[in-house]
Each structure stands twice: as C-alpha cells, then as structure tokens.
Structure 1
Amino acid sequence: MKNWLPRCARTPKWIAAVVLACTLAAPAAAQQADLFDGGKLLLTNGVSSIQGASGGGLATWSTIAGRGTDAGVGLSAHATLVELPDYGFQSHGVSVGLFNRVELSYARQNFDTRDVGTALGLGKGFTFNQDIFAAKVRLAGDVVYGDPFMPQIAVGIEHKRSADTPIVRAVGATEGSGTDFTLSATKLFLSHSLLVNTTLRLTKANQNGLLGFGSASGKKHSLQFEGSVAYQLSRRAVIGAEYRTKPDNLAIAREDDWWDLFAAYAITKNITITAAYVDLGSIATFDRQRGGFLSAQFAF
C-alpha cells in the first residue's frame, strides 16, 4: 500500500475534471438525503473486474460501482487472486460511483512469472506490474428498472500504464501504455432471475496490457467482445459464465480468448465473495493456464 498513494497522486487530469463536473451536476435531492444511501438491490452493482471497473470477474459491465443510487455516492474496494499452473495474478483497487451515473476506478495488477521467469530470461519470480485508471458513464437505461427490454448502456475508458516498459518492448510490444474504450449493455430480467451483458472493447493490449500494447505487425486498436450470463439463485447468490475475446499481437507468444464459470455470494449487503474456474489459455508460450479465481469486494 505504501506505493499506492504516489501513483494515485498522478491520476490523469481528465478524471479530476469528471469528478468536478458530476459533483456540480448532482441532483438536488442528493444534497438533502444521506449521501451514501446504499439503496441498490443486492448484487446489482456487479463485482470488481480484474481491470477495476465494475462488472464480472473478467468482463466490464455497464453497472456503476458502489451501492449508491441516483441520489447518492457509492464506494467499493476489491482484492483478487488468480492461481494458474505456471503463474500467479493479483489485483487490488478502489472505485467510486457518482449518483449512479459516473464511475471512476483505479486498479493495480501484479503478474508473478514464478519459475517461468527463469525460462523467459527475466529471473525467477519476476513480476509484471500495471496501473489502470478508468472512467465509465451511464448513457441510458437501468439494469433493473424501466423498460424490461431496455438495457443499461454505458461507455468507458481505461488508461493502462505498464511499470515494466523496457521489458514489454523487449518481448515485442511497441508501447508501455495504452487506452481501451468500451461500450456495454447490461440488463437483469427480474421475472427470470437472469442477467445478460455484452461489451465491445477497442484495445491493443497484450494480455490485458501486462505485456504492453501493440506490436510491429499490429499497432492499431482491434474490436473485441465480452459476454456474460448470470442466474440469480437467491437474493444473495448468483452463478454464471463469461467469455472474452483477445487480440493476438505478439509474434513470440500466442494469445487465447478467456472464459470462466463463476459464483458470487453477498455475505452482507457490503461484502461479496466471488469464486470462479478460469481458462486463460496460452500465456507467454505456456499453454493450458487454467485455475482458480477468488475475489472479495467491499461496497458501500
């Protein structure tokens, strides 16, 4: 945590501008009500994805972080671990939801190469690190309410900065930082206890950005798809699946699509635990990277 604050102090100026604009445009009701009203239905704010934005474990959704409604502010924090046969992944971060309209998030990702680091010439236990600053704006619709066939639609931007630019360039990436753009549509069909999400992502990130951005043969953004389906077993329990397509830019290593099977449980209205089986395919020439995903989210 001691390295987290200095990085956040360098948050891009556009995030501060969004915060100011949303604060000035806050509904008058929010000035009279409890600012942290926590009025959302359980699990309808999603969980924290590995990018830090709210959604599923692997995919970004149009949901807005925190439990605040359109008359309040929501906050959430997460910690995520993914254990694979040859690698270890860890993510932690925070996000804020402003009046169920705007979401701002920060996530720190750490990717431990363990013994693979030696085989790659990086040294045993070499860890790739990345910071992700993101913003999301709800444009129309509502996840739960309103027209039963009108989804909540949101656009997002995720700016990613590798802390290992010389290394990712050495493996073939052209840049150590890059920006993804997302368009998401999410709807909970209450009568069927079914949530469906689709997301389109413009990206040039290699392995989500941990191996840099672009390559000599693919410098431009490509359009990728993220899909999620979840079934609500009860007010507190959800099961589901996700699929996420990936660009395949680097000549030295194939990059596969990702998918998972997950279960989320709201222990209390503020604490949600998510567990999943994930298949991340081939990573840096090592195939069959399948394992366990565990995440804890604290939301207010």
Structure 2
Amino acid sequence: MTRVGRVFSAGILMIVVSANLQADTGSRLWATGGVTSVEGSAGGGLSPWALLGGYASDEEVGGTLTLSRAETDDYTLSVVGAGVTWKNRIELTLARQTLDLDRLVFTLKEGFGLEGDELVQDVLGLKVRLLGDALFSPWGQWSAGLQHKRNREFTVPDAIGAKDETGTDVYVAGSKLFFAAVMDRNLLVNATLRGTKANQGGLLGFGGDRNDSYEAVFEGSIGLFITRQWLVGTEYRQKPDNLGFATEDDWWDVFIAWVPDRRLSVTAAFVNLGDVATLEDQRGAYLSLQASF
C-alpha cells in the first residue's frame, strides 16, 4: 500500500472512531453544517458555503474531522482536515492537500528535468457568519472568509511560471434553504464570490506570467434533499487562468451526500476538472467522509 493509501486508511479509522465517541453533537438542525470542501471549509466538495461546520448553536462549540480523496484519469488528490466552530459565528479550519502527479511526472521530467511525484499544500481557513440564517431568514445566511495557502514544495510551480508559493483567497458566500421548493422537497442554494490568484486551487502556486493580480471568480452550488438523510446536487467553480504553461479550466461536479447520523456524513461525486497542467479531460470520482460534533 502506498503512503497516501496508508494515510487514507488511517484517516477513515480516525473519523469512524471519532464519530462513535461523540455523544453531544450540538443543537443545530440536521445537515445544517454542510460537508467539507477540498480546502477544509464547510460547504460542498468544491466550494465553501456560508454555512459553518458542525452543529454548534449560538451557545456552543463544535467541529469536524474530514478525509477526502479524488481520483481522475491522471491525478490523485487526498485531503485531511479539521475544523472548529465557535458559537455558530466563527469557523477555523486546517487542511493538508496532497496531489499525486502520476502521469504529469513524465511531462515535467521531459520538459523541465524535474523530479518529485507529489505536491503538498496546507490551507488555513477562517470564516465569519455576518448575518442571517440559512433556514429562517428571508435572504438566507451570509458569511465572509479567507483561505491562506502555502505550498510545501515550490520547485514545480516555480518552473511552470508561478510567482509565489503562498497566497490568500478571500470570499463572500450566501446560503439559503427553501422549504418544500421542489416536489415538496427542500432546496439548498449557495453562491460564492472569491478573490484569488491561485493556480489549480493553489497547488500550482499563485499568480503567473499571464496574470499576477487578484481575479474575482464565481462559485455556485445547488442541492435537493430527497429525504432527510439524502442530498443530491451539483456545483460549479470558476477558475482564473494565470499560467502560459497550460490553460486552466473551470471545475464542476454532480454529488450525492448521505447523512445517516448527525455525527457522520458521506459524500460521493463525479468531478470534471477539465484540462489540468497539459493533461486533458480530467474526470473521475470523489469521496469524502466527515465526522461532526
């Protein structure tokens, strides 16, 4: 078993044990913490939402532990993360992303003479609920956040034209749950506006030879509660295009989330990342496990 595989297996055990040990999971309603994005913030798989992680009410502290993995034709991304939410007002998260380069290793060796078979990035997140409530406020819940990202190895991003090894994304998100909106089923809608310089979410550095300025990009999510425990939906994430090395495409997915218990959720998705660093049509499967308390 590879090192990443061992970490993934250990993470599954950690989450299951943690979920079973948590007796108090907070006072907020079922599934109102969302799942966890690939950058560690509460939301969908691809994008942060205005919702805060866990089930802590205005008088409680809660949090999450998360393990995610996405496998496309030529890449594998593994994410381990944790978050704490204070009184349903402030969310702090930390995530580590590990991208196995797979076929791209050969491209980099031929074009740049580079060694190494993975990229690692740490993401520190802060989100603050500004106003409203996703369930009961007419205009939903609104939050602002930032994600500070740091490449642990900058050789590859530097070689393909990235300007910086660290960067900070800022965003504003709005989430609203519409009761009995579609065939008497509840509908969750989120819109996020992000300011970013990140290449492929920051895994390929920040800024580039085409553009080294912040760009505003849109992210949207919509999900339908089939039952209390099952949510299906889709996400779209617009991307900047900073590097002359390769065009960066927008991301989208179709997901299904299962929340069998307030302490545990499982999300599976089909993801389409488009062309990534010269390798075309990166499509594949995504799986995320989350324990909440």
Counterpart in the other structure of 2:175: 186
Partners in 1 of 2:61 and 2:163 — Cα distance? 39
In the comparison of the two structures, how many residue pairs are matched?
266
Of 53, 57, 63, the residue aligned with 1:75 is 63
CA contact (8 A) 2:25 2:292 kept: no
Counterpart in the other structure of 1:43: 31
CA contact (8 A) 1:174 1:215 kept: yes
Partners in 2 of 1:216 and 1:119 — Cα distance? 20
3-state secondary structure, aligned to 2:261: coil
CA contact (8 A) 1:60 1:184 kept: yes
For the pair 1:271 / 2:264, whether they are aligned, the reply is yes
3-state secondary structure, aligned to 1:190: strand
Higher relative contact order (CA 8 A, sep 6+): 2
Counterpart in the other structure of 2:47: 59
Q: CA shift at 1:171, angstroms?
A: 0.9
Q: Deviations over 1:179-218 (max 9, x none)?
A: 0000000011123200000000000000000000001331
More strand by share: 2
CA contact (8 A) 2:72 2:284 kept: yes
Partners in 2 of 1:235 and 1:246 — Cα distance? 33
Partners in 2 of 1:181 and 1:106 — Cα distance? 16
For the pair 1:216 / 2:209, whether they are aligned, the reply is yes
CA contact (8 A) 1:279 1:288 kept: yes
For the pair 1:134 / 2:125, whether they are aligned, the reply is yes
Any unmatched runs of 5+ in structure 1?
5-35
Normalising by structure 1, we get a TM-score of: 0.86
Partners in 1 of 2:280 and 2:163 — Cα distance? 24
Q: CA shift at 1:150, angstroms?
A: 1.4
Counterpart in the other structure of 2:96: 108
Partners in 2 of 1:164 and 1:123 — Cα distance? 12
Normalising by structure 2, we get a TM-score of: 0.88
Partners in 2 of 1:54 and 1:114 — Cα distance? 29
CA contact (8 A) 2:114 2:156 kept: no
CA contact (8 A) 1:263 1:275 kept: yes
Q: CA shift at 1:125, angstroms?
A: 6.5
3-state secondary structure, aligned to 1:169: helix
Partners in 2 of 1:92 and 1:189 — Cα distance? 31
Partners in 2 of 1:115 and 1:286 — Cα distance? 8
3-state secondary structure, aligned to 1:291: strand
CA contact (8 A) 1:96 1:103 kept: yes
CA contact (8 A) 1:195 1:229 kept: yes
Partners in 1 of 2:37 and 2:171 — Cα distance? 14
Q: Deviations over 1:10-54 (max 9, x none)?
A: xxxxxxxxxxxxxxxxxxxxxxxxxx6611222110000001000
Partners in 1 of 2:239 and 2:221 — Cα distance? 15
3-state secondary structure, aligned to 1:67: coil
Partners in 2 of 1:37 and 1:258 — Cα distance? 33
CA contact (8 A) 1:84 1:292 kept: yes
CA contact (8 A) 2:169 2:197 kept: yes
Compared CA separation, residues 135 and 153, structure 1 to 2 (3 A): same
Any unmatched runs of 5+ in structure 2?
8-23
Aligned residue identity for 2:56: G
CA RMSD of aligned residues (A): 1.7
Which structure 1 residue ranges, 4+ long, deviate > 3 Å from structure 2? 122-125
CA contact (8 A) 2:208 2:243 kept: yes
Counterpart in the other structure of 1:28: none
Partners in 1 of 2:32 and 2:61 — Cα distance? 15
